[in-house]
Amino acid sequence: MPEERCPPRRAAPDPRAPVCAHGVDAIHPGYGFLSEKGELARACQAAGIAFVGPTAEVLDSFGDRTAARALAIACGVPVVPGSDGPVADLAGAQAFSASHGYPLIIKAAMGGGGRGMRVVRAAEELEENFARAASEARAAFGDGTVFIERYVESPRHIEVQILGDRTGEVIHLHERDCSVQRRHQKVVEMAPAIGLAEAVRTALHADARKLAKQVGYTNAGTVEFLADPEGRHYFIEVNPRIQVEHTVTEEVTGVDLVQSRHWAHRGLSLGQRYGHSPRRRLGYAGAVISPHYDSLLVKVTAHALTFSMAVQKLQRALAEFRVRGVAPTDGRRARSCPSPAARDGPAPRGRSPLDPQP
């Protein structure tokens, strides 16, 4: 990518000016590059604004790809053979290539998304590609630091979705296959990874959780790996944020990841993630039903993380519900408002949360 086309890096803004004036008390950083910056999380903390994401310290650990790589090695998570840290100059790149050979890949240390990445297959290509990678990294992230790894031929790009809470528990929500790429940019993502050996799948899930638990990871994130044709896998990086492709995971798991980020930030434990699901039964009215048949006409079910939210959803569904051709039972109650008690917890035995107040 030519340098002039790379978007300039934006410094982490001071959130106090625009948000305090409007009474904002929390910032969800989305999936822009600022979402991985520890300085934004610290600026929010200094302003008394909640940052919905991992801690600034965790962002520091994973925002620097060389630091994340060192952490993976310390945890026993396999990595692609590469430089011990940043490669400062061409001489360092030449020394690495002399020891490890070709092909190799040069990567930006302070960012991802395919920017600042160059594959080098021969010695005569090294000088130009080293300069280009550093230039692209500087233009995109404000830091031209790069590191080098052996290039893995024909790998699958597999990433594991993780979710951690403040009790130290970390779960995985399975994996996504992001192998279809153009210029190191993902083009097609799918979940789960079809045809992946179960032993590799299990190892990826375990290593993702191991790495996250090592740093006390909270909130949602993604641990990315390469899997080669021989069944070996290698850690690439951690994206400590929500990702563009998170929706395919939501489709196969039924978990709202953005909502989960907010609940994790508020201290909800993963043991509470299943939520509440009330259901209302409606039967036939004005007809004689034989004892050989059930009078049930329809069931309306709602779900939310809290009992209060679930009752509100069910109440709205019933208020908008229409039955034609026959008269349902409990028609009056189906459209009644929940009592205040219903929003705080289960109703007394024998009484529906949707019943009118006495």
Give the residue numbers marked as catalytic. 241
115 and 183 Cβ atoms separated by less than 8 Å: no
Nearest to 37 by CA among 101, 91, 111: 111
Handedness of CA 230, 190, 184, 244 (dihedral sign): negative
Long-range contacts of 153-157 (CB under 8 A, 24+ apart): 153/103, 153/228, 154/228, 154/229, 155/179, 155/226, 155/227, 155/228, 155/229, 156/193, 156/196, 156/226, 156/227, 157/181, 157/186, 157/224, 157/225, 157/226, 157/236
CB atoms within 10 A of CB 10: 11
CA distance 200 to 264: 29
Contacts of 165 (CB under 8 A, 6+ apart): 218, 264, 267, 268, 269, 270
Alpha-carbon 144 to chain mean position: 27
Do strands 26-27 and 50-51 pair parallel, antiparallel, or not at all (unpaired)?
Answer: parallel
CA distance 40 to 33: 11
